[in-house]
Structure 1
Amino acid sequence: MGEIIKLDNICQYNEMVGQETLHPLISVIDLSKSSRIKHVRMSYGFYAVFLKEVKCGDLRYGRSYYDYQEGTLVFLAPGQVIGIDDNGEYFQPKGRALMFHPDLIRGTSLGRNMKDYSFFSYEVNEALHLSEQERGVIIDCLNNISEELNRGIDKHSKMLIVSNIELLLNYSIRFYDRQFITRENVNKDILSKFENVVNGYFQTDKPQTIGLPSVRYCADQLHL
């Protein structure tokens, strides 16, 4: 297992990827415009949401591997370890990243309710797979935050920025629910097909000639 790089604040991450820091507690980054970086395992002192647009290896999340593909959202909470073991190669990340420090949301409704966003937990090791429409909704939220950061900080900035983070996370809850409902329906379809395979098997002379259906036989019939 390689070295784990610890980044305690937003400025350190921005410096690593060659991006300007517009606000010490939050950053929205277009990763395609960042510096090329090496694979590394990192622990952040802040929340991070990555909209991945390229699959660059097996992403280790804690002690497990994270299930993600291109065009997915990955969520990280402070203190968690994620990344890919260093193989000596540099790569160009693509996608968008939202980083925000716990201090930004302290005392807000979002700060009080962060525990409700369970996709920040190690227990959820599956990324959020977005449709094109859902991806557009997430990018709109990120763009709204970017516009506030580039506008300059005033007395309304924090409220509007935190509101857009909360909106993004609430949409993510909806999209995760959609994902698991879809997954449940797919699993039901597979179970129905499996039942048909087994019933069809016992309607032939195969049980007498080759015995009970094997796991390999059923998997082959279901193309699994």
Structure 2
Amino acid sequence: MDEIIKIDTIDKYNKLYGLETIHPLVAVVDLTKATTFPNHIRMNMGIYSLFLKQTICGDLKYGKKLYDYQEGTIVSFAPGQVIGIELKEDARPSSVGIVFHPDLIRGTSLGENIKKYSFFSYEVNEALHVSEEEKQIIIDCLNKVRIELNHAIDKHSKTLIAKNIELLLDYCMRFYERQFNTRSKVNKDILMQFEILLDNYFQGENAENKGYPTVKYFADKVFLSPNYFGDLIKKETGQTAQQHILLKLISVAKDRIVNTNQSVTEVAYGLGFQYAQHFSRLFKKNVGCSPNEYKKMNA
């Protein structure tokens, strides 16, 4: 098995490609200027990274799967993720991007909002494909950070660097929403699959045997990462995937309470709850009355 290299500082990343470290917590990277090129490597990232690939020169892997990473695509990774790079022989990467350490954004608005950029956890076939105009916007954002890095450090430096990175990520959010729209037919097919999978899960014995389903369970079934799947469902329906699961569960619970002779405890266990009290509290919170009260109302 290939050795996994821990990349938890900007300097370690730069040394991997023979690049100079200007700032200990952030770097705007141009791999056309790299002096060393590891052809086969696996990295455990301890830093955030976002790259625009401008030529086809090899494969990028997330876990054991190939990333949808061709010319004119953007990929991003968060700390804790393992990625693999396999370059073609004599290939030279032509990517530009940014890497930054979590410490850079602590105490900034970006640090408070970083979790909203869910694309950092997207996986296979989920890269962002950008137009020429969008590509230029990304490059302009990177240049703004580069200019600030070359400026003498003062009390405004950290804030301005973080805000420019935040601007870059906000543009990526916009471009991803555009991509969701252009893939609308595919997305609707996935939504239909989700509805079928939900029905099957609660109609069979899955819930009783496996418990309350997670978003990850359904994302795995349609071969998407939980974050991408959740964002897709929210974009298509206005509701989160978790809300869809809850609505389906409440609907099935109502049917079983009214149309069967099952006790509330039996209904709870059949829906994957280990404790009937948890089910009753959830039901009352969402319906406005307890399961027993609902049964009496609909007797």
Map residues 53-72 of structure 1 onto 2, 5 A cutoff. Answer: 53-72=54-73
Are the aligned partners of 1:61 and 1:125 in contact in 2 as well (CA < 8 Å)?
A: no
Alignment match, 2:139: 139
Alignment match, 1:202: none
| CA drift at 1:50 | 0.9
Report the AA paired with residue 42 of structure 1.
Answer: M
1:85 to 1:57, Cα distance in 2 relative to 1, 3 A: closer
Report the AA paired with residue 11 of structure 2.
Answer: C
Instruction: State the Cα RMSD in Å.
Output: 2.1
1:19 and 2:33 matched = no
Q: Residue by residue, what CA displacement relative to the aligned partner does 1:111-148 show, whole Å, maximum 9, x if unpaired?
A: 11111111011556511101011111111110000001
Question: SS of the counterpart of 1:68?
Answer: coil
Are the aligned partners of 1:130 and 1:175 in contact in 2 as well (CA < 8 Å)?
A: yes
| CA drift at 1:97 | 2.1
Structure showing greater relative contact order (alpha-carbon pairs closer than 8 Å, 6 or more residues apart): 1
Question: SS of the counterpart of 1:176?
Answer: helix
Alignment match, 2:44: 43
Are the aligned partners of 1:40 and 1:86 in contact in 2 as well (CA < 8 Å)?
A: no
Unaligned 5+ runs, structure 1 = 189-224
1:181 and 2:181 matched = yes
| CA drift at 1:90 | 5.0
Are the aligned partners of 1:7 and 1:42 in contact in 2 as well (CA < 8 Å)?
A: yes
1:79 and 2:74 matched = no
Alignment match, 1:151: 151
Pick the structure with more helix per residue: 2
Report the AA paired with residue 30 of structure 1.
Answer: D
Q: 1 CA distance for matches of 2:182 and 2:84? A: 28
Question: SS of the counterpart of 1:40?
Answer: strand
Alignment match, 1:165: 165
Q: 2 CA distance for matches of 1:110 and 1:11? A: 22
Q: 1 CA distance for matches of 2:106 and 2:90? A: 36
Alignment match, 1:95: 95
| CA drift at 1:57 | 2.6
Q: 2 CA distance for matches of 1:7 and 1:122? A: 20
Report the AA paired with residue 161 of structure 2.
Answer: I
Report the AA paired with residue 105 of structure 2.
Answer: I
Report the AA paired with residue 33 of structure 1.
Answer: K
1:125 to 1:101, Cα distance in 2 relative to 1, 3 A: farther
Moved more, 56-65 or 176-185: 56-65
TM-score, normalised with respect to structure 2: 0.59
Question: SS of the counterpart of 1:74?
Answer: strand
TM-score, normalised with respect to structure 1: 0.77
Q: 2 CA distance for matches of 1:91 and 1:6? A: 24
Are the aligned partners of 2:50 and 2:97 in contact in 1 as well (CA < 8 Å)?
A: yes
| Runs of 4+ that moved beyond 4 A | 122-125, 185-188
1:27 to 1:9, Cα distance in 2 relative to 1, 3 A: same
Q: 2 CA distance for matches of 1:93 and 1:126? A: 21
Report the AA paired with residue 71 of structure 1.
Answer: G
Alignment match, 1:128: 128
Alignment match, 2:245: none
Q: 2 CA distance for matches of 1:146 and 1:33? A: 15
Are the aligned partners of 1:61 and 1:122 in contact in 2 as well (CA < 8 Å)?
A: no
Moved more, 60-69 or 134-143: 60-69
